[in-house]
Amino acid sequence: MAHPLDRTTSRRDFLKRAAAAGVAIPSLAAILAACRDTSTGTGSPSTGVGGIPLASPGNPVELPLYDDIPAVADGLPQEAGPLRVYNWNDYIYKKVIKQFQEEFSVEVEFTQFTGMSEAINKVQSGTINYDLFFPTIENVGKLVGAKLIQPWNRTYLENLGGIWPSLTDPWYDKGGRYTLPYLTWKTGIGYRRDFVDDPATYDMPFDIFWDTKYAGKVGVLDEYRETIGMALLRNGGTNFNSVDATEIGAAVDSLVELIDLVNVEIGPGDYQKLAEGTSHVRYSWSGNMNYAQYYLPEGTSIDVLGYYYPPEGGWEVANDTIVINKDAESPVLAHLFIDFLMRKDVALTNFGYEGFQPPLVGVDRQEFLDAGFIPPNLENTLVAEEDFQMGQPVAPLSPADDQLYQDEWARFKAGAG
C-alpha cells in the first residue's frame, strides 16, 4: 500500500510547534466563557454552555433541539457548491476528496486547522466560513449550547447503517441529533520491540515510562487531558476524567518525576521518532502507530514496532465527530459528503492513508489484516466496538475543572522547560 511521506504539520504536531514558538494556547473554557449560561452568569460542575448537562458514558445526554435551528428539509436537490470543509490538517485523504468531486461534479474547499483551540475560536467568533466541522467529543455540548450547529437529517444518509450503532447513538449526543462519527483510536504505548521490554511484563504497563533504563528515549503526548489521565491510571486511579484536585495534583507530581528520572520529551512526532529509533517508548495514539511503518529507515524490519493496549480495556478510546454549521450554505451537499465518507470502500481507502480506523460494521480484525492496512505485529492498534464499552473517553468537564487540569499541566510543562 502506498503511503504519502510528505505530511505537513498535523494535529499531532501542533502543540509541539506552538510550545517551541512560545504561543499561548487558550483553554476551551476561556474561549467559550462568553457563552456560559446567562441565567446564572457562570457554569456549574454539572452543566456547561447554555446550561446543557455534562455528558459521560454513565450520564448520556440528549441535546436540545431549537425551533430557530431546524435540520435541512427532506428531498432537496444537491447544491452547486463549493462544499466547505473545516478539518484537522491532512485528515481526509486527498484521493478521497478528489473522488467525491468527480462523482458529484462539485468542488470541495478544504480549510485546515492545526489545533482544536484555534478551530473552536474561529467557529465561535464566526471568522470561518464552513459547512462541515470535525470537533472532538468534549466540545459537542458547547457548540450546541452556543447554537452554532444544526441537527442532521438522516434521510440523506443511506450508508449510516454501516457504522457502529454505539457511535451513531452516542452517550454525548443521544439519538445522534448533532453528530456523526468519523475515525476512532485507542491511546496506549508505542514502543520499539528491539530496544525495550514488552510493556505487558510490568505490573502496571505505564511504569515503563518511569523506567530509568530508557532515559532519554521516553516521550508523552503534549495533550493535557490525555497525559494527565494516563498518570491518574498509573497511580492506581480508575477514572480517566477525575475531577478530584488531590488526585490530579498527585498525577502531575508523578509526571514531574519523569523530568529528572528519564528526561521525558513532551510532544508529538511519536510515529516518526519511534520509526527512526530516536525514541524507544511513547504514549501514542493507535492511528499514529499504523503509519509509523512508513518512516522506518531502509532495511529496518517492520517487526521492530510494537503497540500495547490492555486486552481488558480501561484506558482511553475515542472518536472524532462531524457537525454541520447552522448557517451552512450547502447543507444537502454536506450530508452527501458524509454519506460518501461512510461508504465502505471509501472509508477503507481513507483508513489506508490516515491510519485512524473508521467504525465500520462487519469489518473484523482479520479483514483489516488481510487487506494489508497494518502488519500483524501492530494488530493491537485496531479498535473494536466493544473497546468503547471497556475503555474511557476524554469526557466534557466544567470550565472550572478544565482550568484545574490546565493549571496542573502548566506546572508540568514549566518543570520540563
Q: Residue 332 and residue 348: Cα distance in Å, rounded?
A: 24
pLDDT at site 45: 58
Q: Do residues 222 and 191 share a domain?
A: yes
Single-letter amino acid code for the residue at 291? Y
Contact call for residues 36 and 399 (beta carbons, < 8 A): yes
Q: Do residues 104 and 24 share a domain?
A: yes
Q: Do residues 29 and 172 share a domain?
A: yes
Residues counted in the chain? 417
- Burial (Cβ within 10 Å: 0-12, 13-18, ≥19) of residue 111: middle
Domain membership of residue 260 (yes or no) is: yes
Q: Do residues 134 and 236 share a domain?
A: no
Cell numbers standing for residue 355: 491510519
Q: Do residues 407 and 308 share a domain?
A: yes
How many domains would you assign to the chain? Answer: 2
pLDDT at site 184: 96
Reference 66, options 85, 52, 46; nearest CA is: 52
pLDDT at site 373: 79
Q: Do residues 100 and 35 share a domain?
A: yes
Reference 212, options 264, 252, 268, 256; nearest CA is: 264
Q: Do residues 339 and 220 share a domain?
A: no
Domain membership of residue 156 (yes or no) is: yes
Contact call for residues 189 and 208 (beta carbons, < 8 A): yes
Contact call for residues 229 and 394 (beta carbons, < 8 A): yes
pTM as predicted: 0.85
Q: Do residues 158 and 116 share a domain?
A: yes
Domain membership of residue 149 (yes or no) is: yes
Q: Do residues 167 and 282 share a domain?
A: no
Domain membership of residue 4 (yes or no) is: no
Placement of cell 473517553 in the chain: 393
Single-letter amino acid code for the residue at 175? G
Contact call for residues 6 and 109 (beta carbons, < 8 A): no
Cell numbers standing for residue 184: 476512532
Domain membership of residue 174 (yes or no) is: yes
Cell numbers standing for residue 384: 473494536
Q: Do residues 229 and 170 share a domain?
A: no
Rounded-to-10 torsion of CA 293, 295, 297, 301: 0
Q: Do residues 142 and 20 share a domain?
A: yes
Contact call for residues 345 and 84 (beta carbons, < 8 A): no
Cell numbers standing for residue 416: 520540563
The range of the structural domain enclosing residue 127 comes to 11-184+320-374
Q: Residue 238 and residue 315: Cα distance in Å, rounded?
A: 9
Domain membership of residue 329 (yes or no) is: yes
Tens-digit pLDDT string for the chain (417 aa): 333 333 333 433 433 333 333 333 334 434 333 333 322 223 345 776 678 899 999 999 999 999 999 999 999 999 999 999 999 888 899 999 999 999 999 999 999 987 777 888 899 999 999 999 999 998 999 899 999 999 999 999 999 999 999 999 999 999 999 999 999 999 999 999 999 999 999 999 999 999 999 999 999 998 889 999 999 999 999 999 999 999 999 999 999 999 999 999 998 788 899 999 999 999 999 998 988 888 999 999 999 999 999 999 999 999 999 999 999 999 999 999 999 999 999 999 999 888 899 999 999 888 888 877 788 899 999 999 999 999 999 999 988 998 999 999 999 999 887
Domain membership of residue 385 (yes or no) is: no
Q: Residue 98 and residue 18: Cα distance in Å, rounded?
A: 31
Residue spans of alpha helices (H) in 205-363: 224-234, 245-262, 270-276, 286-292, 331-341, 344-354
Domain membership of residue 382 (yes or no) is: no
Q: Do residues 144 and 291 share a domain?
A: no
The CATH number of residue 357's host domain is 3.40.190.10
Q: 289-297 long-range contacts, Cβ below 8 Å, gap at least 24?
A: 289/190, 289/355, 289/378, 289/381, 290/355, 290/356, 290/357, 290/373, 290/374, 290/378, 290/381, 291/3, 291/354, 291/355, 292/190, 293/374, 293/375, 293/378, 294/3, 294/5, 295/5, 295/271
Report which secondary-structure segment, H or E, holds 388. helix 387-390
Q: What is the DSSP letter of 172?
A: T
